[in-house]
Amino acid sequence: MTSNGDDLTHLGSDGAANMVDVGSKKDTVREAVAEGFVRTSADTLQAILAGNAKKGDVVSVARVAGIMAAKRTHELIPLCHPLLLTKVSVDIEPDQDLPGFRVEALARVTGQTGVEMEALTAASVACLTIYDMAKAIDKGIEIGPLRLLAKSGGKSGDWKRSAS
């Protein structure tokens, strides 16, 4: 775990949790990309790709669920600001090597605060939706890791996860 030495911004001097006041920050274009993984059995992956999940088109429903989740992040994460997102995309690709799916979510806003939580929420809910729609055929599905890949904009500037 790394730190740049800044204090935690959501804690007051008395230790109470507070929403950060972003009113004095400049509007900038901010973007974040997150990814998550869903590991299934090879048979489950093939069943999903063949359209044989009882609940319907797993990938399409998971994509829409992720987009909807990004738009509601402030309702789920207590100290997040409501944002007027300008772009949310969720890409879900099958990965035979897992086997399972790689989910990548992008969130973009022109505003006073970042969109990392929106990207992470989109990716996580898309992964959870895949789980929900396929659990009837595979009780052993695993989700993870979920992680931020990159963020840009704002006072702290750009950040990109180093290759590991």
Which position among 21, 132, 138, 158 bears the catalytic label?
A: 132
> Which H helix or E strand runs over 152?
strand 142-152
Instruction: Sheet containing 87-95: give its strands across.
Output: 87-95, 100-111, 28-39, 142-152, 159-160
- Give yes or no: 7 in active site: no
- Is there a contact between 126 and 62 (Cβ–Cβ < 8 Å)? yes
**What is the distance between the alpha carbons of residues 135 and 52, in angstroms, rounded to a whole number?**
13
Angle between helices 42-49 and 116-134 (to 10 degrees): 100
Task: Please count the helices (runs of H) and the strands (runs of E) in the chain.
Answer: 4, 5
List Cα–Cα distances, 118 to 54, 66, 74, 155, in angstroms.
Answer: 29, 9, 8, 18
Residues with catalytic function: 132
